[in-house]
A and B are shown apart, each in its own frame.
Chain A
Amino acid sequence: MINTILNKSKKIKKIFLNLILDGNKYHLGGSLSCLDFICTVIYGRFVKIDKDKGLKNFILSKGHALGILHSILLEKKIYKKKTFSENRNKGKIGGQLDIFNPHDFFEWNSGSLGHSVGVSIGLSLTTKQKIWTIIGDAEIDEGSIWEALFFIKDKKIKNLVIVIDKNNVSASKKIFNKANLSAKILKNLDMNYFNINGHDIKKIFKTLQKVNSIHSSSLIILNTIKGKGILEIENNIKFSHQIPSNEILKKYI
């Protein structure tokens, strides 16, 4: 299984970079930081992805990383490349995730930061299945996230998995030693706390197996690198929005 995920992860990265070369305006850095994790969740079958039923119980709060999900849909042929290109030309594919394309496939519209933990509580109250949410480490400054985190603790909600993509770079600056990401604070939220390397697929897989076997909510800190795998842009603030030259991208395909 681990080898399969590793191979898929490499493949998804290539598809993703090709999409950018084709002119899609994805946020490269913040997408690559969570690529390995998303691939492990989906190809490790921790969440179900189905052509007809879609990708449910999974919210990508950092909606600007939607290019990874698009790449997975293309790899799984849920989205045909031709249809994808046609839809892009029609203006249906953009820089943030929405539920309309493919129709009703994703669980939630995202693009405004800080909403998804609360939203996932709402979803979790309707099911016993686990609800997954990936948020960014700059996003955690939003107060609404903390209102939701304390609600989870107070109400003892048991089926949430909240994942923080800690790549240490926000849209405009490097962010280190944030008080709200300290283990001391997060461990007090009464969730299962994991702090792992977000690019070590074996470690991610094992952690998710553990998360799935526990009957209570979990909080995972993913230590990642913004722009992981493209040396020229790794940890570089400039590439929060910008895309490097085609020559650089082609080197990694």
Chain B
Amino acid sequence: MKLNKKDIRDIFFDNVRKIFLKRNDFYILTNDADVFALEKIKNHKRFIDVGVCEQNLINIASGLARKKKKVLVYGFCNFLCHRSFEQIKINICSMRLPVYIVGIGPGFSFSYDGPTHHGVQDLANMYTIPELQIINLSENTLANYCSKNILSFKEPVYFRLDKGVMNSSNLKYNFKEGFTLTKSIKKKNLIITSGYFARVAEQMVHEKNLKDTCILDLYDFKKFNKLKLVNILKKYPKILLYDENTKSGGFSFIINDIINRSKIKYSNFKSLCSPEKQIFIYRNDRDLLLKDLKIDKYFLYKNLKKL
């Protein structure tokens, strides 16, 4: 199947499975989470389903990694990040062990399960661990690149992996800058976003045929090219920060920090994020929930017009 037709999870885990089968030192661990692409290797001795015990899961992973094994851990992002925070901080990151933590179900992708399953604070939580690289994967080519080259990451990484077919029509992803930017003739509005919201923003810009609006998708939250980002920010008079996470739980503070440090002054800087509360609204569809929260593509357009 062509890359642009595949579910992003299948792309990522198909590549991981191939590496797993080639290398005898590669381990995969999970907390009872099911992933279609790994079904065939579930009975392999190096595939360890630790059970519903995230803290133990991370500790076992760190022990393996200390003995030079390559370790990938996956599970629902919320339970992995919040429940085993201390284990990740101390047992993996303080020793800079190259464990790949893959959080599935970021944002409101589990729109029917309430705040226990909403991954809208994991990003900021993981950001506080200095040694941990954070990569938000919500585009098929990017997920393909990262998973194929996963062993090139020599330090701990938190991959935030979305679901569904996630193609970009305008954004070209490389892995040098940590972000990517759409091209437009007029540089008037800039939407800074990440993850699933980059796809939502692209859809909105395409549907409204906005020739003066660019989208910047920030996907590497620690190692992006800061200088280049500052230069881009300076070119746009109007900026809208658009984040599926809460303002305190997402990447708002990263952008605000850059703006403050580089002393850029904006009269037209606004942000549109998930509300600062735990959401007890249940919808079958993620976009319906985003609409309820007034952060879907229509509200994005409205906010952009108000800039």
Contact = CB atoms under 8 A, between A and B. Distances in A.
Interface string B23-39: 00000001011100000
B34 A92 contact: no
Interface string A18-42: 0000010100000000000000000
A171 B79 CA distance: 15
Interface in B73-121: 78-79, 83, 110, 112-117
A91 B52 contact: no
A95 B113 contact: yes
Interface string A158-189: 00000000000011110100000000000000
A67 interface: no
A93 B114 CA distance: 10
A141 B60 CA distance: 14
A208 B110 CA distance: 37
B116 A92 contact: no
B112 A95 contact: yes
B262 interface: no
Contacts of B113: 94-96, 111
Interface residues of B, number: 30
A142 B292 CA distance: 34
B51 A171 contact: no
Contacts of B284: 23, 25
A114 B33 contact: no
A49 to B, nearest CB: 22
A246 interface: no
B229 to A, nearest CB: 36
Nearest to B114: A96
Contacts of B83: 112
A230 to B, nearest CB: 21
Nearest to A140: B52
A141 B52 contact: yes
B114 A95 contact: yes
Contacts of B56: 141, 143
A101 B114 CA distance: 13
Interface in B108-144: 110, 112-117
Interface of B: 30, 32-34, 42, 49-53, 55-56, 78-79, 83, 110, 112-117, 280-284, 288-289, 292
19 contacts: A25-B112, A63-B116, A95-B114, A95-B282, A96-B114, A96-B117, A109-B116, A111-B116, A112-B79, A112-B83, A112-B116, A114-B53, A142-B52, A170-B51, A170-B52, A171-B33, A172-B33, A173-B49, A240-B34
Given A98-B280, A101-B280, A111-B117, 14 more contacts: A25-B112, A91-B292, A94-B112, A94-B281, A95-B117, A111-B113, A114-B52, A139-B52, A142-B52, A170-B51, A170-B52, A171-B33, A172-B32, A172-B49
Interface of A: 23, 25, 63, 91-96, 98, 100-101, 109-114, 138-139, 141-143, 170-173, 175, 240-241
Q: Which 9 A-B pairs have the closest CB atoms?
A: A94-B282, A111-B116, A141-B51, A172-B34, A91-B281, A141-B53, A95-B113, A95-B112, A112-B116
